[in-house]
Chain A
Amino acid sequence: MWSIIDSLYGQNINCDQSSGVGDTIARLFNTERELIDWERALPRNLRIWSSQDVLDNTNDTVTNENVRNENRLATILTLRYLNVRLLLHRPILIKFLDTSGKADEDCHELTLLQKIGSNSIQLSMQSAIDIISIVHAAVHATGRKRELLGAWWFSLYYSTISHI
């Protein structure tokens, strides 16, 4: 996440240095490669799940406490991973939205955005749908599955900070 904030959000110091589409995509690809390398290096029991995996593999029939904990951590890690991927591809979404405010948009930039940026839009939509799907399923579940999202005080703590 630090790498994404550093390279794609100007270290988050509120200096709006808008870069070109090509430059943004180049940085995005570099970070995407790092993210893939990180994912490949994960231990097998903490691999990133698809949203369907989360829904299928976390049922109440699992009685082993260790396996349940592994499933819970894998679920949380999957949510974090999807969120980082959203953050990574969001600059492309912003580029698309920015074009609505510029009548004199460079047609080459726009063409590049349409050709390459569509993949980012697809990934963003799928990641967003997966996050919502996992959270929605977890909060409506009963029993052990309800514990998938972890401790509630953690949510409340950060919710309070974000509100401040």
Chain B
Amino acid sequence: MLGGSLYTTVRSPIYNLVTCTHDGLAFNAALVLFGCLLVCRTANRTALATLPTKESAKTSLENAVEALGVLDHGNRMVERCCHYLKQLISVLDSLGMRVSPQYLTRLTRETESAQSTEGIKQQARTIYASSDTRPPISTACLHQSPLAMDFGEFMLESDFDFLNHHFGSGIPGMEAFDTSYG
């Protein structure tokens, strides 16, 4: 279930029913936060003026990754949740919501401790690089797993369609609004 569609996961209440656990709560909260950031990216800034800042939201996503990593170390499902959230953070980074220096430092530390995992090193390099540039989101780019894993394990084709559509055209009727949240 956790490896299912991002969009489906956000839509389905089943996730909440069966994961009233602290790893489940944190993961679900991070997914909702990601969805809110997508909405805020194109929504009317005046109407959403009282929102938490994007920096605090982004920091929370990074904290969720960190907390999940500690919460149930060695649990395969929790590890998948961590990896999944890292991918979402990479997506936000590609949209210009840069990762914090603390997150980069931690990612580098993980990279050094996992010297045998070239894929993770590649992820660190990707995020470092995208902090200065804003590469376009493409299905090909998303399919290329920086964790050297099949990205489809975490996302379905419908997720790529949804994300690409969302990033490509924004929310109809909202394009004229301030997009500085992103």
Contact = CB atoms under 8 A, between A and B. Distances in A.
A12 B11 CA distance: 11
B19 A159 contact: yes
B177 to A, nearest CB: 9
A131 B56 CA distance: 13
Contacts of A102: 172
A33 interface: no
A121 interface: yes
Contacts of A115: 47
B129 interface: no
Nearest to B32: A128
A158 B17 CA distance: 10
A86 B29 contact: yes
A118 B43 contact: yes
A101 interface: yes
A49 interface: no
B18 A122 contact: no
A99 B172 contact: yes
Interface in B107-142: none
Interface residues of B, number: 59
Q: Is the interface of B mostly helix, strand, loop or mixed?
A: helix
Contacts of A129: 29, 33, 52, 56-57, 60
A41 interface: no
Interface in B22-51: 22-26, 28-30, 32-33, 35-36, 38-40, 43-44, 47-48, 50-51
**Residue among A90, A105, A129 facing the most chain B CB atoms (10 A cut-off):** A129
A155 interface: yes
Interface in A95-135: 96-97, 99-103, 105, 107, 110, 114-115, 118, 121-122, 124-129, 131-133, 135
Contacts of A97: 7, 10, 35, 38-39, 162, 166
Interface residues of A, number: 55
B21 A159 contact: yes
Interface string A69-84: 0000000000110110
Contacts, number: 178
B143 interface: no
A90 to B, nearest CB: 6
Interface in A38-96: 79-80, 82-83, 86-87, 90, 93-94, 96
Interface of A: 1, 4-5, 9, 12, 79-80, 82-83, 86-87, 90, 93-94, 96-97, 99-103, 105, 107, 110, 114-115, 118, 121-122, 124-129, 131-133, 135-136, 138-140, 149-150, 152, 154-156, 158-159, 161-164
25 contacts: A4-B13, A12-B17, A80-B20, A82-B25, A93-B39, A96-B39, A96-B43, A97-B35, A97-B162, A99-B171, A99-B172, A101-B162, A103-B172, A121-B40, A129-B33, A135-B25, A135-B26, A136-B26, A136-B63, A139-B67, A139-B70, A140-B66, A140-B67, A163-B2, A164-B1
Given A128-B32, A128-B36, A132-B29, 6 more contacts: A79-B22, A132-B30, A132-B60, A132-B63, A133-B60, A162-B1
